[in-house]
Amino acid sequence: MEKMIEISGLKKSFGSLEVLSDIDLILEKGDNLAILGRSGIGKSVLTKCIVGLIEPDEGTIFVLGQEIGKMEYDDLNELRTRIGYLFQGGALYDSMSVKENLIFPMRKKKKLISKGELQDRVEEVLENVGLSEAIDKMPSELSGGMRKRIALARTLIKRPEIIFYDEPTTGLDPVTSGEISDLIVSVSEKYDTSSIIVTHDMKCARITASYLKLLEDGIFYAEGTYDEMASNEDLKVSSFFH
């Protein structure tokens, strides 16, 4: 299988605080990896290292075949256009309509596309998140679940190969959380994406993830499928499932 992300021996400290002590990770094409862990344990630091926003102290990180630590600034920014992000709060621009929010990230693409193709992409991604009718609405007119869907559509319009989901169901009711989780699976299949999903929502992890990793004490303390992790009797693992 093609390796989308490969991390070996990753370490990162801030002063005397060791956040990541020995991280190895492989994300293969088509996989959805859920990363579990307590708040403040280092999940965000890990994802920022992967995309080159934080420089690790040791270790290597390859993303889409390129070593992050050896890339020039412009090349790194170009690589980031092949990666999508769904932020916890959606991060929509309140002063822009849904259509304007979707078009905005395309301005940073080096390869320009025609207005007609851009309109087709807008309509396609809205249809795929089930919100074609929201194209002219403002973010203030959308529910929390709708905002998440539009944020995902904005990520998809760039046609990324990897998507990072940061707590995609936080703040949503159980029914809407389930819908967003199902949508993540649907997106992975339709767009052939590989994903890293940072979540505390075990229902979301069960629905979306090919496998799970638990970040604890600076390492991946445990890993496996949802059923394997759920049956693990180690208290540090089982506390997430009960």
Tens of pLDDT, residue by residue over 186-200, are: 999 989 999 999 998
Task: Say what the pTM is.
Answer: 0.89
Does position 229 have pLDDT exceeding 90, yes or no? yes
Q: Rounded distance, CA 6 to CA 66, Å?
A: 10
What pLDDT is recorded for position 31? 95
Which pLDDT band holds residue 163 (cuts at 50, 70, 90)? very high
DSSP 94: T
Q: How far apart are CA 6 and CA 9, in angstroms?
A: 10
Mean pLDDT for the stretch of residues 65-88 = 90
- Give the homologous superfamily in CATH for domain 1-82+161-242: P-loop containing nucleotide triphosphate hydrolases (3.40.50.300)
Give the model confidence (pLDDT) of 120-162 as tens digits: 889 989 998 888 998 999 999 998 888 988 998 998 998 999 9
Compute the average pLDDT of residues 71-88. Answer: 89
DSSP reduced 3-state for 237: helix
The rounded Cα 39 to chain-centroid distance in angstroms is 17
When the pLDDT of each residue in the chain is averaged and rounded to a whole number, the result is 91
How far is the C-alpha of 162 from the C-alpha of 82, rounded, in Å? 7
**Rounded distance between C-alpha atoms, residue 203 and residue 101, angstroms:** 29
Structural domain boundaries of the chain? 1-82+161-242, 94-159
Q: What is the pLDDT confidence band of residue 90, given thresholds at 50, 70 and 90?
A: low
